[in-house]
């Protein structure tokens, strides 16, 4: 199993945008993203702070993306 990348909230948001997710709204530092088919998730965007592996796993479950697909979005 490959390790999840250490990424900031901005990098995760940009990767999800490549997968077809759109920013619906933002409340404070939390960005709400939604896909046309109904999948949605929330990504915290805090300055240069990296998102931990547990939260990235939760985002992957919410978006129903496989690890390999998610990692490919960072290339």
Could you read off the pLDDT of 2-54 as tens digits, one per residue? 678 789 999 999 999 999 999 999 999 999 999 999 999 999 999 889 999 99
Euclidean distance between CA atoms 75 and 61, whole angstroms: 21
Comparison of pLDDT for 75 and 33, the residue scoring more: 33
Predicted pLDDT of residue 28: 95
Domains and CATH numbers, the chain: 7-72 (3.30.920.30)
Predicted pLDDT of residue 5: 79
Q: pTM value? A: 0.91
Predicted pLDDT of residue 1: 63
Q: Identify the three-state secondary structure at position 33.
A: strand
């Amino acid at each position: 199993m490959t390790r999840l990348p250490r990424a900031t909230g901005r990098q995760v948001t940009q990767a999800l945008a490549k997968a077809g997710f759109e920013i619906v709204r933002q409340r404070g530092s939390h960005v709400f993203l939604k896909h046309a088919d109904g999948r949605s998730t929330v990504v915290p965007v805090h300055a240069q702070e990296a998102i931990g592996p547990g939260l990235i796993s939760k985002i992957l479950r919410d978006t129903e993306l496989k690890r390999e697909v998610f990692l490919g979005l960072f290339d």
